[in-house]
Amino acid sequence: MQKTTDDKTTSEVIPEQMGYNTRFQFECHKGVKCFTRCCRDIDIMLTPYDILTMRKYLDITSEEFLAIYTDIHLLEKADLPVVTLKLLDDEQKSCPFVQDKEGCLIYECRPSTCRYYPLGMGSLSYASELNKNNDEENADAFFFTVKEAHCLGFEEKKEWTVADWREDQGVNIRDEVNAGWTDLIVRKKSVPMSIKLSEQSKQMFFLACYNIDKFRKFVFESSFLKKFHVDPAKIEEIRNDDVKLLQFGFNWLKVIFFQEGEVKVKKEE
């Protein structure tokens, strides 16, 4: 499984640059001898959209999901909190959702990292570029295969292009929804380390990106709408739509971090 925490690469990663149309040979299925091997002793960063869909699938709140299934880390270069899947305390450090024979118990809503494997993304800037251009062909796309010794999927005969794999695994929609989040991280990384965010700004980032149910309460049940000008149509749009609320949150964080974006602070009366 792809190693993701804080841009970390491991000695197992072969950074062979691949474009959108590069072909590779790979297949993963229940018949491979290594089945579920990659779901143990791994480091899976969860994106905002992962959390949103996983908590819905498990029928729990985002707050409960964070408490039960995640660990929180600081992404050092960006000085922002990120969330990883908490592994079981068993000998193999298994993912809580893996079952020996059946594989992934939450396959329909498995995280982006699990979907991308065996591809790694060379840079978060790809999704960020995609967000600006909405144009996959011209985005700064580069990928690489993550060839771990235990993974026998590369010995299978099936061929893919990177584009076909992304389509098949449903990562396109995920990257699109998460683009505002990756943009915030990429931009924050480029800010000199000496310019620090306040603890409150980091908490707001965590709230809007990862704790969607609490963020909804914050928007609708606090003085938020008195402090920020939000178009009435937008208010209705985000009231019951998780994805729209998430994307609204990313835009709002642009105001907090960079004093720019669609969400405007109301003038004092």
**Is residue 152 within the footprint of ligand SF4 (CB under 6 A)?**
yes
- Letters for 31-70 (x = contact with ligand SF4 by CB under 6 A, - = none) are -x-xxxxxx-------------------------------
- Quick check: 146 binds ligand SF4 (CB under 6 A)? no
CA distance 199 to 201: 5
For the CB of residue 85, give the shortest distance to ligand SF4 in the complex, in Å. 7
3-state secondary structure of 56: helix
**Smallest distance, ligand SF4 to C-beta of residue 220, A:** 31
Rounded distance, CA 139 to CA 130, Å?
Answer: 5
* Closest to ligand SF4 by CB, 146 or 208: 146
The site string for ligand SF4 over 192-211 (x = CB under 6 A, - otherwise) reads --------------------
Q: Which residue in 132, 150, 196, 217 binds ligand SF4 (CB under 6 A)?
A: 150
Closest contact distance (angstroms) between CB of 91 and ligand SF4 is: 17
What is the nearest approach in angstroms of ligand SF4 to the Cβ of residue 88? 10
Give the count of residues interacting with ligand SF4 (CB under 6 A): 22
CB-nearer residue toward ligand SF4: 106 or 243: 106
HEC profile for 63-124?
Answer: HHHHHHHEEEEEECCCCEEEEEECCCCCCCCECCCEECCCEECCHHHCCHHHHHCCEEECCC
- Residue 228 CA to residue 264 CA, distance in Å, equals 6
Distances (CA, A) of 193 to 77, 78, 80, 81, 124: 8, 8, 12, 15, 19
**Coil, helix or strand for 27?**
coil
Interface ranges with ligand SF4 (CB under 6 A): 1, 28, 32, 34-39, 95, 97-98, 104, 106, 110-111, 114, 117, 150-153
